[in-house]
Amino acid sequence: MTSEADDQIICIIGAGYVGLVTAARLAEAGREVRVVEVDADRRAAVAVGLSPIFEPGLDELLSAVVASGRLRAVETMKEGVAGAGIVIVAVGTPPTHDGEADLSQVRLAVDQALAEVAPGAVIAIKSTVPPETTRALGRDSTRQDVTFVMFPEFLREGSALEDLRHPSRVVVGGEDVAAVRRVAALLGGPDTTRLLCDSVSAELIKYGSNAFLATKISFINEMAQLCELTGADIEKVADGMGLDPRIGRSFLGAGLGWGGSCFPKDVRALETSAGYHGQSFWLLKAAIEVNSQQRRRFTAKLLRGLGGSLEGRRIAILGLAFKPFTDDLRQAPALEVVRQLEDLGAQIVATDPVALDRARSLLPRATLVADPYEAVTGADAVGLVTEWPVYRELDWGRAIGLMRGRLVVDGRNCLDGTDVTEGGGVYVSMGRRTRGLPPQAPGSTAEGVYSSTVPPVPLG
Ligand code: UDX
Ligand code: UDX
């Protein structure tokens, strides 16, 4: 056990999407940071200032703070917590098969830290954990001279550094006010909103925030279905709803629904945790069901657009990452969509600007190519799954020309469709009218197909 705890020295356990970005930001802000990472490859990369994950701006920052000596990657907990005043736990909390959060990594990291940490240190839980976990860790701890707080993260992948440099709020929960204040001082500036509370409330602020945003997305996806049945335009509807400051336009983006490392596991974990307390969280059950339906709806549009059979059809999938500006494929909608299409007999050619390496082992039957034009060459249809800017800026006339078919299904409503229709293609999206079909097509009107039924689109 080392000498006095010094809050200038911070130890972060876990160099993942959250731990590594947090470590780099704290080092940038002048703290001396040690990252304890069990994965030898990740540790080796961080030790030389290379980021093992794709996150805008992280490579540059990491190489700077490692070169300055303010951030070091270490193997042992002893090295990591030596003299540290605050130890941040950012290890994984993957879902168990029944949806509960698996806390084994958190418990192991905490036990190892408690064996070495300096008297007076604070252990701040940044991993997303079910209600009452932080208090239980404190209760079960062998060290009365160490306190625990919940320090939830709200960063979004793809804009994580920005979110940490300018946090919209800092939330810290715990039963020891002094410890809570010490951790709350780590992020943000004098004008940053800080909410200090008890640990259980902080745990539920985290889950509640993710679950509410996920529910908001599922709501707009249900509205999108109704738009398809009534001929309305979901983007207009979302714009209109979003004008109400009580609603807001953000996270009213209809499409393939939510994925990623957080929403799917946190929504299920919250619903499961409520169940353990005897509560049926109906809203979340519905949000989960609507979300999985969105992938099936997207697949159905391709199936119908190609005449009801995908046997021997070649489909180009644009985008694999769960959202743009990340290489993270965890719970990415693309994985489900590709599997559904392959199970229906389609041959998939997929592309993504940064996530191809991670996709190779996850999509063994698909052909993965870096160039989107190569991906669409000879394709009977294109499915746009991740709204990377490169796909918005595609020369759709050229793309349609390279395809065998001319059906483009936009699962993120990120194209306005004119580029596709002017390129001779048929544009299908989520919650909006199909465009570009010949006037005589069944149910079509001047503006395009009136109802949600996507009729078979004749090949080019
Ligand atoms: C993690 C949590 O999973 C999530 O609940 C929370 O909201 C934010 O932090 P993320 O950073 O995305 O999310 O996790 P992941 O990318 O899996 O990183 C965890 C890292 O911890 C991995 O690099 C893993 O190797 C490392 N780890 C895990 C340790 O260093 N020690 C351990 O004992 C366990
Ligand atoms: C989320 C939370 O936003 C963040 O605060 C928390 O810390 C971690 O989880 P992240 O998973 O990086 O961040 O992604 P986010 O930008 O929230 O998107 C989540 C999912 O919702 C993505 O799959 C995205 O494509 C989808 N989404 C988002 C929609 O389908 N429609 C929208 O309008 C917004």
46 contacts 15 by C-beta, under 8 angstroms: yes
- Give alpha helix (H) positions in 306-362: 333-343, 356-360
Q: Which residues of 38-70 are buried (b: 16+ CB within 10 A; e: fewer)?
A: eeeebbebbbebebbbbbeebeebbbebbeeeb
In this prediction, residue 449 carries a pLDDT of 45
**Percent of the chain, pLDDT > 70?**
94
If you search the block for the tokens 């570009």, which residue do you land on?
436
pLDDT at residue 203 greater than cutoff 90? yes
Atom of ligand 1 nearest to the CA of 20: 11
Can you tell me the mean pLDDT for 225-230? 96
In this prediction, residue 453 carries a pLDDT of 53
Compute the distance from residue 258 Cα to the ligand 2 centre, in Å.
6
Residues annotated as catalytic (active site), given as ranges: 262
If you search the block for the tokens 């990452």, which residue do you land on?
321
Alpha-carbon distance of 99 to 154, in angstroms, equals 21
Tokens coding 185 = 């001082």
User: Is residue 153 within 6 Å of ligand 2 at its C-beta?
Assistant: yes
CB atoms within 10 A of CB 282: 10
In this prediction, residue 351 carries a pLDDT of 98
The 8-class DSSP code of residue 101 comes to B
- Give alpha helix (H) positions in 141-176: 160-165
Q: In this structure, which amino acid lies at residue 374?
A: E
User: Is residue 258 within 6 Å of ligand 2 at its C-beta?
Assistant: yes
pLDDT at residue 179 greater than cutoff 70? yes
Alpha-carbon distance of 124 to 110, in angstroms, equals 10
pLDDT at residue 446 greater than cutoff 50? no
Average pLDDT, the chain: 94
Alpha-carbon distance of 21 to 391, in angstroms, equals 27
φ/ψ (deg, to 5) at 157: -65, 145
User: Is residue 67 within 6 Å of ligand 1 at its C-beta?
Assistant: no
In this prediction, residue 43 carries a pLDDT of 97
127-141 tens-digit pLDDT: 999 999 999 999 999
In this prediction, residue 455 carries a pLDDT of 62
pLDDT at residue 442 greater than cutoff 60? no
> Confidence band (pLDDT; 50, 70, 90) for 4?
confident
CB atoms within 10 A of CB 212: 15
Compute the distance from residue 87 Cα to the ligand 1 centre, in Å.
14
Can you tell me the mean pLDDT for 85-100? 94
Q: Do you know the residue count of the chain?
A: 460
Query: Exposure of 78 by Cβ count < 10 A (0-12 exposed, 13-18 middle, 19+ buried)?
Result: middle
Atom of ligand 2 nearest to the CA of 158: 12
Ligand nearest to the CA of 287: 2
Can you tell me the mean pLDDT for 327-342? 97
**3-state DSSP assignment of residue 301:** helix
Compute the distance from residue 15 Cα to the ligand 2 centre, in Å.
21
In this prediction, residue 447 carries a pLDDT of 44
pLDDT at residue 448 greater than cutoff 50? no
If you search the block for the tokens 């800017």, which residue do you land on?
389
Protein residue closest via CA to atom 28 of ligand 1: 91
Alpha-carbon distance of 412 to 335, in angstroms, equals 15
Tokens coding 254 = 């209809």
CB atoms within 10 A of CB 390: 14
User: Is residue 22 within 6 Å of ligand 2 at its C-beta?
Assistant: no
> Confidence band (pLDDT; 50, 70, 90) for 255?
very high
User: Is residue 324 within 6 Å of ligand 2 at its C-beta?
Assistant: no
Q: In this structure, which amino acid lies at residue 133?
A: T
Question: Would you state the torsion angle of the CA atoms of residues 110, 111, 117, 121, taken in this order, to the nearest 10 degrees?
Answer: 40
**Percent of the chain, pLDDT > 90?**
92
41-50: Cβ within 8 A, 24+ apart: 42/15, 43/15, 43/73, 43/74, 43/75, 44/73, 46/15, 46/20, 46/71, 46/73, 47/72, 47/73
Can you tell me the mean pLDDT for 89-94? 96
Tell me the pairing of strands 147-150 and 170-174. Answer: antiparallel
Q: Which residues contact 61 (CB under 8 A, 6 or more apart)?
A: 24, 25, 28, 161
User: Is residue 217 within 6 Å of ligand 2 at its C-beta?
Assistant: yes
Ligand nearest to the CA of 333: 2
> Confidence band (pLDDT; 50, 70, 90) for 458?
low
278-313 tens-digit pLDDT: 999 999 999 999 999 999 999 999 999 999 999 999
- Give alpha helix (H) positions in 231-355: 234-242, 263-276, 282-305, 333-343
Q: Which of 151, 260, 141, 140 minimizes the C-alpha distance to 203?
A: 151
Can you tell me the mean pLDDT for 18-40? 97
Atom of ligand 2 nearest to the CA of 214: 21
Alpha-carbon distance of 274 to 296, in angstroms, equals 28
Better pLDDT: 98 or 336:
336
CA angle 408, 237, 305 (to 5 degrees): 20
For helices 199-230 and 234-242, the axis angle rounded to 10 degrees is 140
Can you tell me the mean pLDDT for 260-267? 97
